[in-house]
């Protein structure tokens, strides 16, 4: 979840290391630091946001034409300056993303040999391991290779050496690492986005690889030490802008980008002339698939929960959904010829990747829905379905979620048609509804002021409940997650029919209840549950369409959204719950784009 950057070049690197970290800060912002070899190892580090490091560098600039940098999400050790990366001895500096599981044993062995440690982190042992190897007469390359072989866990590394201004070593196991190719310079990063302004020619290291970088070359070794070639490709991701434009926060910008990116995603999987959804060629017969398993984490998991309703109702295909961090521990039985769908914004989510490998070991066809088509999850999949959301910098996912739902909707329609589960008239109706999502999402954004006024009525809340029924139940859970992530208000999402089975005990006049209830076949039952809450003095905020608001009767607070088909309601209703969380968080004064304790790309289990 941390971000690392490295540059070996022929001109000063300090400012460019900081700029690379700026593009990686969504991965962690507990602390940051850079180190250069000048020829001695020299470091600058600071607790907290990257701007604190910038202030340190303004007072004490750092020279050097080779260097490494790091922005941290704390795993081992508190987020203090002493625990900030790079970690260093006099000979070696290291930046590390991941977790070293055997660091205590290694630390004890090194301490017994006289090594003194300055931090509480697992990462510092790496610098000492490499230093110990060099003290025994190994070259920097040999010492790094030997140290890597002793590490257990997941990691991406950048290693810098005193007196070596033309050597940088990187390594990966379980965490992504990218090599960037420049003109007389080479780059190393945990994310292609960080090297975007420097190079669009990149190479993703494979699992177990380590690399020797000089100004003019990259020598890649596989886990056996053999020199190997890896594909160099052009990266459009790396060139993307991460500017907020005229918006105060990335999150708000990304919410407002949804009509455009949903449209871009639809254009990939939807034929406007024929009015039908389609998918790339699959290595399996959709009509014969016995079962679909959908696995993801966080917001992406809620997209999967929505898709379960769609698959079962529309394609008449049984679906099992699970959160990735638990899936493989159940050792689920998976049928021959089954399809496993993995959803991830980054394509690097460690738990999701581990679950993917379990499903592959069970003989499943692997389909991934990712926002980064060059990611680890994508590269290990049989079929990759990109979401085309563009870079999502705000930690709380917004546009990636609605694009995931859009891809899933197209996938469900393709399955349904292949299986003969729906007639042509139903296909036409659902496809027509889906085609209108970009326009309708733009209409929803016109209610921003009304949503802000609702948020103002909730600023004193300590607990918030979200209710939904059918495919809006996962949206209730997603709305609650959004609110928790960025406002720090406790919130829970429930199936509306479950209120009377326990959660209604929480209701009083200080608990806002957000009810997601478009008019339609489930509306009457949901409104009945809503009135049970009103009878107990709950402060209800109803999100429905004009007909729904009319049929619901008097409600303390409401917002009228466009009338839509049940099929696309989850995509459209995602937008107001995102805006509600955003505005309430602004009113609370929290850090919208970088909420406490969270990071965007979760690359550790």
Provide the pLDDT confidence category of residue 524 given band limits of 50, 70 and 90: confident
Q: Is residue 408 over pLDDT 70?
A: yes
Query: 480-493, pLDDT tens digit by residue?
Result: 999 999 999 999 99
- Characterize the bridge pairing of strands 319-323 and 292-296: parallel
**Same structural domain, 104 and 154:** yes
The predicted model gives 518-544 an average pLDDT of: 80
**Same structural domain, 209 and 271:** no
- What is the tally of structural domains in the chain? 3
CA distance 29 to 1: 10
Give pLDDT, residue 239: 47
> Considering Cα of 472, then 476, then 477, then 483, what sign does the dihedral take?
positive
Provide the pLDDT confidence category of residue 243 given band limits of 50, 70 and 90: low
**Same structural domain, 102 and 234:** yes
Q: Does a structural domain hold residue 247?
A: no
Terminal Cα-to-Cα distance of the chain (whole angstroms): 10
Give pLDDT, residue 555: 82
**Same structural domain, 475 and 403:** no
**Same structural domain, 550 and 496:** yes
Q: Is residue 55 over pLDDT 70?
A: yes
Provide the pLDDT confidence category of residue 61 given band limits of 50, 70 and 90: very high
Give pLDDT, residue 71: 86
**Same structural domain, 273 and 388:** yes
Higher pLDDT, 316 or 605: 316
3-state secondary structure of 210: strand
Q: What percent of the chain lies above the pLDDT cut of 70? A: 94
Provide the pLDDT confidence category of residue 241 given band limits of 50, 70 and 90: low
Computed over every residue of the chain, the mean pLDDT equals 88
Q: Does a structural domain hold residue 39?
A: yes
Give pLDDT, residue 163: 93
Q: Does a structural domain hold residue 63?
A: yes
CA distance 375 to 339: 20
Marked catalytic residue, from 2, 203, 410, 431: 2
Q: Does a structural domain hold residue 258?
A: no
The predicted model gives 126-147 an average pLDDT of: 94
**Same structural domain, 431 and 569:** no
> Considering Cα of 71, then 118, then 149, then 163, what sign does the dihedral take?
positive
CA distance 275 to 270: 7
- Confirm if 487 and 460 have CB atoms less than 8 A apart: no
Give pLDDT, residue 289: 95
Of 435, 459, 486, which residue is a domain's last?
Answer: 435
Strands of 210-213's sheet in order across: 87-88, 92-100, 153-161, 168-173, 210-213, 218-221, 227-228
Tell me what percent of the chain is helix, strand and coil, each rounded to the nearest 5: 40, 20, 35
Q: Is residue 387 over pLDDT 60?
A: yes
Q: Is residue 353 over pLDDT 50?
A: yes
Provide the pLDDT confidence category of residue 242 given band limits of 50, 70 and 90: low
**Same structural domain, 30 and 160:** yes
Centre a 10 Å sphere on the Cβ of residue 243 and count the other Cβ atoms it contains.
10
Q: Is residue 601 over pLDDT 70?
A: no
CA distance 501 to 467: 13
Q: Is residue 284 over pLDDT 70?
A: yes
**Same structural domain, 406 and 368:** yes
Question: Lowest mean pLDDT: which of 108-122, 337-351, 451-465, 589-603?
Answer: 589-603
The predicted model gives 507-519 an average pLDDT of: 84
Higher pLDDT, 504 or 458: 458
Please give the distance of CA 14 from its chain centroid, rounded to a whole number: 28
Q: Does a structural domain hold residue 383?
A: yes
Of 376, 402, 435, which residue is a domain's last?
Answer: 435
The predicted model gives 435-439 an average pLDDT of: 89
The CATH number that applies at residue 508 is 3.40.50.10490
CA distance 580 to 455: 6
Q: Is residue 600 flagged as an active site residue? A: yes
The predicted model gives 425-450 an average pLDDT of: 90
**Same structural domain, 535 and 510:** yes
* Residue 90, CA atoms < 13 Å, CB-side half-sphere: 3
Q: Does a structural domain hold residue 37?
A: yes
Q: Does a structural domain hold residue 428?
A: yes
Query: 161-191, pLDDT tens digit by residue?
Result: 999 999 999 999 877 889 999 989 999 998 8
Both tokens of 103, joined, read 């660091």
Marked catalytic residue, from 253, 308, 399, 600: 600
Report angle CA 324, 403, 472 to the nearest 5 degrees.
Answer: 70
Q: Is residue 359 over pLDDT 90?
A: yes
Q: Is residue 599 over pLDDT 80?
A: no
**Same structural domain, 334 and 458:** no
CA distance 489 to 170: 41
Q: Is residue 600 over pLDDT 70?
A: no
User: Look-up: residue for tokens 């609702």?
Assistant: 454
Residue 334 belongs to what domain range? 267-435
The predicted model gives 91-116 an average pLDDT of: 89
User: Look-up: residue for tokens 């979200």?
Assistant: 466
**Same structural domain, 389 and 467:** no
The predicted model gives 134-157 an average pLDDT of: 92
Q: What percent of the chain lies above the pLDDT cut of 90? A: 55
Q: Does a structural domain hold residue 175?
A: yes
User: Look-up: residue for tokens 């049929």?
Assistant: 551
Closest C-alpha to 481, from 601, 356, 598, 343: 598
Q: Is residue 238 over pLDDT 70?
A: no
Q: Is residue 536 over pLDDT 60?
A: yes
């Amino acid at each position: 979840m941390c971000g690392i950057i490295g540059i070996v070049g022929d001109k000063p690197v300090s400012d460019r290391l900081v700029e690379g970290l700026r593009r990686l800060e969504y991965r962690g912002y507990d602390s940051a630091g850079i180190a250069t070899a000048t020829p001695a190892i020299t470091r600058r580090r600071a607790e907290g946001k990257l701007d604190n490091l910038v202030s340190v560098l303004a007072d004490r600039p750092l020279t050097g034409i080779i260097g490494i940098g790091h922005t941290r999400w704390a795993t081992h050790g508190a987020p203090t300056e002493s625990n900030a990366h790079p970690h260093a001895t006099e000979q070696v500096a290291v930046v590390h993303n991941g977790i070293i599981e055997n660091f205590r044993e290694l630390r004890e062995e090194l301490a017994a040999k006289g090594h003194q440690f300055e931090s509480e982190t697992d990462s510092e042992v790496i610098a000492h391991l490499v230093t110990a190897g060099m003290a025994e007469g190994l070259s920097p390359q040999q010492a790094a290779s030997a140290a890597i072989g002793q590490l257990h866990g997941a990691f991406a590394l950048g290693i810098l050496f005193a007196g070596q201004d033309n050597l940088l070593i990187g390594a990966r196991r379980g965490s992504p690492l990218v090599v960037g190719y420049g003109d007389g310079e080479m780059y190393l990063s945990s994310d292609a986005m960080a090297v975007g302004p420097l190079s669009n020619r990149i190479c993703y290291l494979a699992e177990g690889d380590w690399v020797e970088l000089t100004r003019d070359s990259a020598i890649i070794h596989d886990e056996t030490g053999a020199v190997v070639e890896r594909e160099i490709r052009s990266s459009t991701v790396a060139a993307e802008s991460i500017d907020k434009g005229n918006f105060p926060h990335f999150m708000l910008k990304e919410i407002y980008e949804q009509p455009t990116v949903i449209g871009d995603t639809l254009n990939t999987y939807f034929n406007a002339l024929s009015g039908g959804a389609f998918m790339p060629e699959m290595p399996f017969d959709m009509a014969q698939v016995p079962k679909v398993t959908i696995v993801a984490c966080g917001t992406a998991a809620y997209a999967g929960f929505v898709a379960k309703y769609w698959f079962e109702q529309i394609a008449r295909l049984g679906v099992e959904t699970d959160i990735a961090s638990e899936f493989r521990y159940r050792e689920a039985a998976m049928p021959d010829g089954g399809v496993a769908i993995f959803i991830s914004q980054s394509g690097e989510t460690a738990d999701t990747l581990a679950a993917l490998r379990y499903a592959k070991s069970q003989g499943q066809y692997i389909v991934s829905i990712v926002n980064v088509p060059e990611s680890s999850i994508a590269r290990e999949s049989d079929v990759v379905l990109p979401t085309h959301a563009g870079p999502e910098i705000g930690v709380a996912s917004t546009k990636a979620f609605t694009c995931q739902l859009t891809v899933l909707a197209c996938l469900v329609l393709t399955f349904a048609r292949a299986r003969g589960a729906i007639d042509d008239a139903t296909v036409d109706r659902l496809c027509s509804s889906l085609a209108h999502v970009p326009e309708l999402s733009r209409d929803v954004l016109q209610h921003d002021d009304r949503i802000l006024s609702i948020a103002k009525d909730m600023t004193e809340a300590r607990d918030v409940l979200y209710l939904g029924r059918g495919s809006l139940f996962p949206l209730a859970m997603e709305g609650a997650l959004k609110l928790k992530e960025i406002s720090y208000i406790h919130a829970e999402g429930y199936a509306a029919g479950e209120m009377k089975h326990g959660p209604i005990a929480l209701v009083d006049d200080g608990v806002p209840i957000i009810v997601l209830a478009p008019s339609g076949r489930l509306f009457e039952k949901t409104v009945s549950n809503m009135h049970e809450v009103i009878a107990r003095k709950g402060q209800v905020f109803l999100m429905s369409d004009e007909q729904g608001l009319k049929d619901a009767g008097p409600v303390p607070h409401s917002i009228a959204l466009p009338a839509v088909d049940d099929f696309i309601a989850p995509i459209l209703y995602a937008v107001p719950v995102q805006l509600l969380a955003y505005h309430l968080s602004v009113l609370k004064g929290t850090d919208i784009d970088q909420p406490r304790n969270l990071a965007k790309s979760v690359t550790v289990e």
